[in-house]
Amino acid sequence: MILLINPKTTKPSEFQSEYFREPNLGLLYLSALLDRNDIEVDLLDLEQYYNLSMEQIENVTKTLFLKYQIFGITCLTNTYQFSIYLVKLIKECNPNATIILGGPHVSFLYDKILKKEKLVDFICVGESEKSFPRLIELLISFQNKNKRSKDFFKKLQLIQGVAYRSIQGEVLFTGNPEPINVERLPLPARYKLSQENYYYRVANVIVNRGCPNECSFCSRQNFFQNVRVRSISSILTEVRDIIALQNYEYINFYDNININKKFFHKFCNMFIKNQLKIPWGCELRVDSITYEDAVLLKKAGCRLVATGIESASEEVLKTNFKYQKPELVLEGLKHLKNQNIAIQSYFVLGLPGETKATFRETEQYIQKLPFDQEDKLEYFAATPYPGSKLWENREEYQIKIIETDFSKYDCQHIIFETSDLNYQQLRDMFKTAKELETYHAKD
């Protein structure tokens, strides 16, 4: 049997049980695909054990790890070290277990990871809805055979998107996987989620894969090779499935639902025409939101819009390939607030091109935002995630990475210095930036 694991990312101080979210959707898709092929699979979401110490987590998982032969762990950059801790714990309990890692962090660093972490057996690189089930089927077929034989590796080579070590210890990669046809994916296997400890109240729905934007701080455009938007009918089917489960109170839609204006209008009208009453929120670009768009969002039942503003300096935005005009963002925000739609806005400190002057410009801009106490503003420290331009082109951007502890790549730590700002300057500015988060809450 297979166990898929979602490492916990939420700090105890941040956890809100009334808004308990589903784990990584990638795991839910993989569970559905394995289940469809009659392969037994379970999910372990360690977010459900958010209040436990590391020692307590070990006690919970040690017995559990003995029940499975194959483990799949998803890795973000800031959860990578915890994932490796889990790998070691699994192998300590179950030395013959096969461990597969996946997710953006390991996809971009598979060569270094497989050379260093000998307990990791395979890494599924990029989109793994094809590679992971095929790898599992291969492993099952060799369950009582030699998994290090020439025959095994010959068949492994036919599965695109897998990195592994050869018999000689050389890291090999079977080639980039083909982009997934999102219309052919089954519904995420929400029925596999455990109801122990806390009920999941917030469902996540992906409406597209890939992004046409090239923001320097994002690895998404490299992880997903091209943009694919789901059909309205497939999204509607998933929304109805979520409503039928009855334990969900809210849906988050990802990512940038207004990449395509025509799709955006059809998406909103889907709720109106089908009288879907479940509250929902979404991520989108605010710079293109018109008054009519805001009215349509409100009519469709949208309660919250999340958007990346990043900076009020056009120079900083252009340097980092974030092509939006701050004045148009402000206009779009006003349209949304006119319809009483809550805003969750994101700003980034310390991007290449940031100076004390551009930070002051953003500080003054924030004070002009039409926000009230129901809105939320979050300031993040610029973080060079593997696969992003900040990581790949750090010499070109003239940034110096000063923090190599991946557990601190959580957008709350200063990770690099720029040619304009040193660590102490960035630290002082970040303290001021965090104070700005509560500027509108004081009104």
Buried-exposed string 65-90: b where 16+ CB fall within 10 A, e elsewhere: beebebbbbbbbbbbbbbbbebbebb
The residue whose two tokens read 């102490």 is: 424
- Taking the C-alpha atoms of residue 428 and residue 435, their distance in angstroms, rounded to an integer, is 11
Sign of CA dihedral 308, 314, 319, 321: positive
Q: What's the confidence (pLDDT) of residue 57? A: 84
Q: What's the confidence (pLDDT) of residue 21? A: 81
Q: What's the confidence (pLDDT) of residue 257? A: 94
The residue whose two tokens read 């050379």 is: 115
Domains of the chain, start order: 2-173 (3.40.50.280), 201-436 (3.20.20.70)
ω before 255 within 30° of 0 (cis)?
yes
Local structure of 58: helix, strand or coil: helix
Q: Contacts from 154-160 at CB under 8 Å and sequence distance 24+? A: 159/131, 159/134, 159/135, 160/130, 160/131
Q: What's the confidence (pLDDT) of residue 19? A: 67
**Tokens for 202?**
């917030």
Pairing of strands 416-417, 400-401: antiparallel
Q: Are 27 and 43 within 8 A, CB to CB? A: yes
Nearest-5° angle of CA 109, CA 113, CA 117? 170
Q: What's the confidence (pLDDT) of residue 424? A: 98
Which residues, given as ranges, of the chain have pLDDT below 50?
13
**Tokens for 381?**
């420290």
Q: What's the confidence (pLDDT) of residue 49? A: 83
Sequence-separated (6 or more) residues with CB below 8 Å from residue 279: 249, 250, 251, 301, 303
